[in-house]
């Protein structure tokens, strides 16, 4: 979650608010079906809902970090 929030803040600080918005909305949308699957089709029950929140948070952090690194590489390579 710290990685997700920190990277989203870095994007926002650069004036690039679209990447965190895309990742945030899409992964928050994915929480619902993941929670349903984990809660109803596994032995996790209600804990499956919390697992879906954790898993999507981790995925958001990973995606945003990779996207930010690619953005910085592209930005600095074009300035040379």
Q: What pLDDT was estimated at residue 78?
A: 73
Q: What pLDDT was estimated at residue 77?
A: 84
Contacts of 47 (CB under 8 A, 6+ apart): 38
Q: What pLDDT was estimated at residue 75?
A: 84
Is position 51 within any domain?
A: yes
Total structural domains within the chain: 1
pLDDT in tens, the chain (80 residues): 899 999 999 999 999 999 999 999 999 999 999 999 999 999 999 999 999 999 999 999 999 999 999 999 998 887 65
Orientation angle between helical segments 2-13 and 47-79, nearest 10 degrees: 40
Residue 43 belongs to domain spanning: 21-74
Is position 79 within any domain?
A: no
Answer yes or no: are the C-beta atoms of 79 and 72 closer than 8 Å: no
DSSP state of 13: H
Report the C-alpha gap between 46 and 60 in whole angstroms. 22
């Amino acid at each position: 979650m710290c990685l997700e929030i920190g990277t989203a803040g870095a994007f926002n600080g650069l004036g690039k608010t679209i990447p965190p918005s895309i990742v945030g909305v899409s992964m928050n949308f994915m929480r619902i079906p993941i929670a349903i699957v984990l809660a109803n089709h596994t032995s996790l029950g209600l804990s499956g809902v919390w697992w879906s929140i954790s898993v999507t948070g981790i995925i958001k952090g990973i995606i945003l970090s990779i996207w930010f690194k690619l953005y910085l590489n592209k930005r600095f390579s074009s300035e040379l």
